[in-house]
Amino acid sequence: MLKREKKLEREIALSRIEKLIEMAEKMKFEDYELSKRCVTIARKIAMKYRVRIPKELRNFCKKCLYPYRHDRMRVRVRKNRVVITCLNCGYVKRVPLKKG
Ligand SMILES: [Zn+2]
């Protein structure tokens, strides 16, 4: 029974995270600070309930938590990877390109 409750709790947490990140995406050009706050809250929820933020929602800097914005990031393709530099804090994220 406890196990089931935990599962439900996580599902609720995940839907809250999705909504928060959706909100952050929507307002990142209007209010960057507020947008970052949404991501911060989403991450806190993720940590509290030990859920992973889905990959497709991780469109923000891991270090400063600002959502990625084309004017606040630099994207370069190097060999087999995409290198994203956050211009807010300088954090460099490397994403391997899929083969084929
Ligand atoms: Zn950053």
What is the whole-number distance in angstroms between the Cα of residue 33 and the centre of ligand 1? 13
Do residues 66 and 36 make contact, with C-beta atoms less than 8 angstroms apart?
yes
Q: What is the pLDDT of residues 65-99, one digit of tens each?
A: 999 999 999 999 988 999 999 999 999 999 998 76
Question: How are beta strands 73-78 and 81-86 bridged, if at all?
Answer: antiparallel
Q: How many domains does the chain have?
A: 1
Rounded to 5 degrees, φ, ψ at 61 are -75, 130
Rounded to whole angstroms, the Cα distance separating 60 from 22 reads 12
What is the whole-number distance in angstroms between the Cα of residue 100 and the centre of ligand 1? 30
What is the whole-number distance in angstroms between the Cα of residue 32 and the centre of ligand 1? 13
What is the whole-number distance in angstroms between the Cα of residue 17 and the centre of ligand 1? 19
Residue 2 has pLDDT above 80, yes or no: no
What is the whole-number distance in angstroms between the Cα of residue 68 and the centre of ligand 1? 8
* Domain of residue 91, CATH code: 1.20.5.420
The tally of CA atoms less than 13 A away on the side-chain side of residue 22 is 6
Q: What angle do CA 2, 13, 60 make, to 5 degrees?
A: 145
Domain containing 84 equals 2-96
Q: What is the model's pTM?
A: 0.88
